[in-house]
Amino acid sequence: MRKFKTTSEIPIPGNLIDQVIGQDDAVKIVKKAAAQRRNVLMIGTPGTGKSMLAQAMAELMPATDLEDVLVYPNPNEENRPIVKTVKTYPSEEDIKKDPQSAQLYAAYRQMQQMVSQFAPKQQQKVLLKEDIGQGRMIQQALKGRENARSSGTGGGMIFLFIIIAAIIFLYATGSFNNDNKWFVLAVIVAVAFLYLLYRFTNTFGRKMGVFDYNDPKLIVDNSGKKAAPFVDATGSKAGALLGDVKHDPLQSGGLGTPAHVRVESGAIHRANKGVLFIDEVASLKIRSQQELLTAMQEKKYSITGQSETSSGAIVKTEPVPCDFVLVAAGNIFDMRGMHPALRSRIRGNGYEVFVQDTMDDTPENEDRYVQFVAQEIKKDGKIPPFTYEAVAEVIDEARRKAGRKRKLSLNLRELGGLVRAAGDIANEEKSPLVTEKHVTKARGIAQTIEQQISRRFVESRKDYQVFLSEGSMVGKVNGLAVLGDSMSGLILPIVAEVTPASSKAEGKLIATGKLGTIAKEATENVSAIIKKHIGKDVSQYDMHVQFLQTYEGVEGDSASISIAVAIISAMEGIPVRQDVAMTGSLSVRGEVLPVGGVTGKTEAAIEAGVKSIIVPASNAEDIHLSGPMKKMIRIVPVSNFVDVLQHALVEGEKKKALIRKMSGMLKIRKK
């Protein structure tokens, strides 16, 4: 890792694509896809940078030929609004070719000159700051024309003069008398009231944004955009994704709202000439996926009401442009929920990327983590810089989360949470820098729900002696499991009992404790090992295995060696050491195979007070513990089932005889 004092010294790249950490293959594909406008499907675990890659792709695509979309009323067919597109920023040649655009831009430039000459500097900053597009310019010009027609006090002053003149005339001619004066005054007051009511409703309507129903509605506005549009449509319903037409409750008597005013664009239309990003793509309904496929093929899509019970369902606009690049993302299970034709469309005109969840633990990649921490600090904007030692502690956490030797985790979202938690602690202590001590504290505070539940499980099971961490017992083993993610370990007490067979034909292995499919199959494999290696006729016995208090269920094969040890202990009457916990998968040939989550399991064993942990030999280097924890437990790597029994069973003649017998069986198999 490079040498530095604080992360404030670390330069941060300006482009998003250069800020992506550890996804070299994905970055190459995204660059190609952006250059050639190709679709991309990114599959991987959450928090590995899929959305950042999609945003970077939009940044790489040139913001050329952006279009604004306006919807006009159709005088011939009300429910078929007319759609017109204009370039957001037309070239000088385009402006000269179109007389309407030339007139519009001439007026706009004249207005800019007047603002720069006569408006105060503060107003100039506001009025000249935004570079509005042609679509908004058209709408504002029409609104300005309408306001000019309806603004001013000329009509009001004329009406006031007429009232005053009428009163003077009536008074001068002697028309006021005791018989009619109240009637005349009532008429004058009534006329004045009606006029004031008219003025109020007209002014109120303009202030509320009500415009002339013959004016167009701007439904796609790309004003101010310097890069290709990036639209995140994750979790969008049909209306938000494909566009919608609002329901009109007043559809008769001239009170209804015209169809073109009720039209709303969808994400596919706003992403025109840019990137449409959909995470968890399988969460889209099949119909929405089909319509999305249609939009991708046709590059235009008409807007209609999405609800059959809405009056908007009878409205359908002319096709609206939607020439977007789709970046879909999800995990491996989301691929099952994808419409086959949609995935085929992406493959046929784009790329599929499997996003990495780890990267090699090298000095170069450690430098990338330094950059990542600096980026998170800048993005948050509220936490102080990290010291060299604090960043080293974050990298150490990345090693731990990777769960594999010589690897660093790329679950950057969770590591970003650790960075922010450490920064919050430093702010509470009014420290100008985040130190190693703050990161260590943050590790304890910023725990996942699974880790917190796991800790409470251990505490409650200790209190009620569901498992023991000292002494020995026949048929009882401290297994290990993970809860949720692979970083949350859990002690899994397993007990076994052997009884005479209930059937004369065969013995059974009966396992209880809400076992999943893989766990059940692993249990059946254990029975094969016992039959083969013990040398006893197990058809005379029923073997009962219970996973104690596993209300959350058990899945996976990592408890295989624990089950086998518990059954053999019960069958042979040999006690099992309770200060030993174990995890590992077992093949039918007696080999101990690697499992996942060994770091989390080891931490759970330490918290439970266990002194030794038996793990597969191939997992030994995957365990990553902090300095103090390393001294609190002995890690015993094993490669076969005989090694497991050697360390798990209490010393005695029965154990020696069993080990000799099983070792002999193993040698025979090797020959």
Separation CA 341–CA 323 (nearest Å):
18
- β-strand partners of 350: 39
Q: How far is residue 464's CA from residue 457's CA, in Å, rounded to a whole number?
A: 11
Asked whether the beta carbons of 635 and 625 are under 8 A apart, the reply is no
Q: Considering 217, 316, 601, 655, which one is annotated as catalytic?
A: 601
Q: How far apart are CA 398 and CA 404, in angstroms?
A: 11
CA 388 to CA 399: how far, in whole Å? 17
Query: Angle at which helices 363-380 and 388-402 pack, to 10 degrees?
Result: 110
From the candidates 236, 265, 311, 558, which is the catalytic residue? Answer: 558
Which residue, 576, 590, 604, is CA-closest to 638? 590
What's the token pair of residue 475? 């048929």
Closest CA to 327 of 238, 232, 220: 232
> Structure tokens of 255?
């009170």
Write down the H helix ranges in 67-133: 92-97, 99-118, 121-129
Cα(374)–Cα(82) distance, integer angstroms: 50
Other CB atoms within a 10 A radius of the CB of residue 326 amount to 26
The yes-or-no answer on residue 611 being catalytic is no
φ/ψ of residue 604, rounded to 5: -65, -40
Q: Which residue shows structure tokens 């590995």? A: 48
Task: DSSP letter for 46, please.
Answer: T
Going by their DSSP bridges, the two strands 39-43 and 350-354 should be labelled as parallel
Neighbours of 251 (CB within 10 A): 11
d(CA 189, CA 359): 83
Q: Report H helices in 498-648.
A: 517-534, 560-572, 598-607, 627-630, 641-648
The Cα–Cα gap between 482 and 555 comes to 10
Question: Closest by alpha carbon to 317, among 261, 251, 237, 273?
Answer: 261
Please return the burial class of 153, using the count of CB atoms within 10 Å of its CB with bins 0-12, 13-18 and 19+: exposed
What radius of gyration do the chain's Cα atoms show? Answer: 37
Catalytic residue check, 536: no
Q: Which letter does DSSP use for residue 651 in this model? A: P
Q: Cα 575–577–580 angle (5° rounding)? A: 150
Which residues, in sequence order, are CB contacts of 318 under 8 Å at separation 6+? 80, 81, 82, 83, 302
Tokens of 546: 């219970």
Containing 662, the helix (H) or strand (E) segment is helix 653-670
Give the integer Cα–Cα distance in Å for 130 and 134. 13
**Gap between the Cα atoms of 583 and 381, Å rounded:** 43
For residues 197 and 277, give the distance between their C-alpha atoms in angstroms, rounded to a whole number: 50
The catalytic site residues sit at 558, 601
